[in-house]
Amino acid sequence: MQAIILAAGMGRRLGDLTRRNTKCMIEVNGIRLIDRLLGQLSTLGLRRIVLVVGYEGARLREHVGTEYGGLPVEYVENPIYDKTNNIYSLALAKEFLQQDDTLLVESDLIFDDSLFPMLLDSPYKNAALVAKYESWMDGTMVRLDEENNIVNFIPKKAFKYEDTDTYYKTVNIYKFSREFSVDRYVPFLEAYTRALGFNEYYEQVLRVITLLDSCDFKALPLREGQKWYEIDDVQDLRIAETLFADTADRLRKYQQCYGGYWRFPSMLDFCYLVNPYFPSGRMVEEMKANFETLLREYPSGMEVNSMLGAKYFGIRQEYVCVGNGAAELIKSLMRCITGDVGVVYPTFEEYPNRLEPERIVAYVPENADFAYTAADLTAFFGSRRIEALLLINPDNPSGNYIPKNEVLELAVWCAGRGVRLVVDESFVDFSEDYASDSLLCDETLETHPELVVMKSISKSYGVPGLRLGVAASADARLIAWMKKDVPIWNINSFAEFYMQIFGKYEADYRRACAKFLTERARFFSDLKSVPFLRVVPSQANYFLCEVRGGLTAHGLTRELLDRYRILIKDCTSKKGFTDGRQYVRIAVRNRTDNERLIEALNGIETHGL
């Protein structure tokens, strides 16, 4: 058995990283792709490695040399790498193909060590490793039958997104027997290139061969959890560095992304907080039906969007400023506050992060659940001079909730002291009385003009990708200033259209909230059964959990990610956790996902960290 590695390409999309090096010379977490690949091949007992080089081939030759770990390395030169595609590189190595059984590998891949043994141990003499289609994949796709025969190859021009459920992506790792190369692949390769030239791809030859009735070529699907990635650009490189980071560093790399976890489809995210039951399928269909128009057309400005936001919540337009997520509005609002601000810790830190530390007057509840009432706040801040008081309600990460009537009493107390009350109610629709707990109504705002209500539409409405939020107050001067402070086109057409059509689906939203309450109660019971967790009751769509039994929050978070591909929030570094105890925050997802997490937690209880 031998290995042929195709490494002639220029890798233009990697920019400066390949200005003086071919793609396989780039580093992923400090290790060059070619070194990782050669290291994997050196464990297989091969007879030799054949490297097809082209762009910056001399540098690659110098780096690799004529042997690796005692394994001979031979070279084939592609002098016209910039005018041909990979079919020509393989054609140049056809003599080698016909001399031995072959592992054919492209050099811009990174993958688990288990893939080569899996392919070699397979009973199939000739096979391609394939992976179920995921959104990041590009290039040649295939369809399989029940016996892992490749029914057909699907080139880019024949790709249809509506058919992706049936697609597999070739991993670009193949096993050819010598007989297959001699009798099938090389003859077809020669005929194909005579007819169509060398600006093609070697997979096209396999596509022709699989049309034969007597084709002896199979697909070998990767097992769940087996990782691989193809690195074509800097985004691919960043994702690969995250996927293949060592255990100690992987969690940090995921957390540095601050979202975008759709790029890691196999990961289950219990870190970010959204409604698992909204928007409804019908609403998504309407958004899809208008996709092209929304993509091609400019959104409206603030005048129209504040009107839509007002319609969305049933309040006056002059009371509403719509933002590109609540984060944009938080930044604008905090610029308007020049004095000290009362903050309850632990909390959602986007607000205090906008303040100089010396302007923060901090209150930390002195109990294990970080619970507090409006009376606790008035007692603490009554003797302290503050310009504004921040209330996250329900709070994040504790899930503590102050009922609406008490919040309004707190607003009266603030007004009497000339204190602006900022209430972030992004999670209020997850409370038991969700239908009547919001402060977003004209009467409430007008009765309490010192009140500013902030609400992220992303969370309770389940549309974080749209980046929508609102700030509301009867302080018309404040709202007018914020409208001028944010860009005129601060939200896109998709977000605008979503607000426009929401009214048709409001009943669906109420049903989603009711369904959520049922699932939260069930999930709460399941979490409490985990011996090493103490679960804090919550009125939000997450639970703060104390980690006990000798475990640490970091260790639990890392183990769930490494072993189960589940991400939760380690709260150790959040301000306010000063008692040395260990806490994590776990989002509430749908029942299937929640049960998967419970199974993982029980697995950790059984087998340990």
Model confidence pLDDT, tens digit, residues 255-266 = 887 777 778 878
pLDDT tens figures, 289-304: 999 999 999 999 999 9
204-216 mean pLDDT: 86
Contact between 577 and 571 (Cβ < 8 Å): yes
CA–CA dist 346, 574 (Å, integer): 7
CA–CA dist 478, 101 (Å, integer): 74
Share of the chain above pLDDT 90, in %: 85
What is the reported pLDDT for 66? 96
Given pLDDT bands bounded at 50, 70 and 90, which one contains residue 153?
confident
Q: Which secondary-structure segment (H or E) carries 306?
A: helix 302-313
Share of the chain above pLDDT 70, in %: 99
What is the reported pLDDT for 180? 95
Contact between 108 and 9 (Cβ < 8 Å): yes
Contact between 49 and 72 (Cβ < 8 Å): yes
Contact between 35 and 81 (Cβ < 8 Å): no
pLDDT tens figures, 463-495: 999 999 999 999 999 999 999 999 989 999 999
Among residues 546, 577, 576, 542, the alpha carbon closest in space to that of 344 is found at: 576
pLDDT tens figures, 500-513: 999 999 999 999 99
Among residues 542, 543, 540, 572, the alpha carbon closest in space to that of 556 is found at: 572
CA–CA dist 386, 606 (Å, integer): 50
CA angle in degrees (0–180, nearest 5) for 482-483-489: 130
Long-range contacts of 119-122 (CB under 8 A, 24+ apart): 119/173, 119/175, 119/220, 120/1, 120/44, 120/175, 122/175, 122/218, 122/220
Q: Which secondary-structure segment (H or E) carries 587?
A: strand 582-587
Q: If DSSP codes are grouped into helix, strand and coil, which group holds residue 67?
A: strand
Phi and psi (nearest 5°) for 451? -90, 135
Q: Which secondary-structure segment (H or E) carries 60?
A: helix 57-64
Q: Which secondary-structure segment (H or E) carries 481?
A: helix 476-485
Exposed e or buried b per residue across 87-111, where buried means at least 16 C-beta atoms within 10 angstroms of its C-beta: bbbbbbbbebbbebbbbbbbbbbbb
Given pLDDT bands bounded at 50, 70 and 90, which one contains residue 450?
very high
CA–CA dist 401, 134 (Å, integer): 40
Beta-bridge mates of residue 66: none
pLDDT tens figures, 318-329: 999 999 999 999
Sign, CA dihedral 12-16-17-19, equals positive
298-317 mean pLDDT: 96
CA–centroid distance for 172 within its chain? 25
Residue 608 pLDDT more than 70?
Answer: no
Q: If DSSP codes are grouped into helix, strand and coil, which group holds residue 32?
A: strand
Residue 497 pLDDT more than 80?
Answer: yes
pLDDT tens figures, 533-547: 999 999 999 999 999
307-321 mean pLDDT: 97
Tokens standing for residue 361: 């007057």
CA angle in degrees (0–180, nearest 5) for 161-167-170: 120
Exposed e or buried b per residue across 535-569, where buried means at least 16 C-beta atoms within 10 angstroms of its C-beta: bbebbbbbbbbbbeeebebeebbbbbbeebbbbbb
What is the average pLDDT value for the chain, to the nearest integer? 94
Q: For residue 74, which amino acid is it?
A: E
CA–CA dist 362, 353 (Å, integer): 13
Tokens standing for residue 489: 């086109």
Contact between 144 and 150 (Cβ < 8 Å): yes
What is the reported pLDDT for 251? 83
Question: Mind giving me the DSSP string for 381-446?
Answer: HTTS--SEEEEESS-TTT-----HHHHHHHHHHHHHTT-EEEEE-TTGGGSTTTTT----SHHHHH
Contact between 498 and 509 (Cβ < 8 Å): no
Q: Which secondary-structure segment (H or E) carries 601?
A: helix 591-607
Residue 371 pLDDT more than 70?
Answer: yes
Among residues 538, 558, 546, the alpha carbon closest in space to that of 600 is found at: 558
Length of the chain measured in residues? 609
Burial of residue 242 (number of CB atoms within 10 Å: 0-12, 13-18, 19+) = buried
Tokens 């306010």 -> residue: 576
Residue 564 pLDDT more than 90?
Answer: yes
Among residues 271, 249, 261, 272, the alpha carbon closest in space to that of 562 is found at: 249
What is the reported pLDDT for 266? 81
Given pLDDT bands bounded at 50, 70 and 90, which one contains residue 382?
very high
Residue 105 pLDDT more than 80?
Answer: yes
CA–CA dist 83, 33 (Å, integer): 24
Q: If DSSP codes are grouped into helix, strand and coil, which group holds residue 41?
A: helix
Residue 607 pLDDT more than 70?
Answer: no
Q: Which domains does the chain have, with CATH numbers?
A: 2-240 (3.90.550.10), 249-276+514-607 (3.90.1150.10), 281-507 (3.40.640.10)
Beta-bridge mates of residue 321: 471
295-319 mean pLDDT: 96
Given pLDDT bands bounded at 50, 70 and 90, which one contains residue 609?
low
Kindly state the DSSP code that residue 353 receives in the 8-state scheme: G
pLDDT tens figures, 21-66: 999 999 999 999 999 999 999 999 999 999 999 999 999 999 999 9
Q: For residue 508, which amino acid is it?
A: D
Tokens 């996927």 -> residue: 243
Q: If DSSP codes are grouped into helix, strand and coil, which group holds residue 14?
A: helix
What is the reported pLDDT for 151? 86
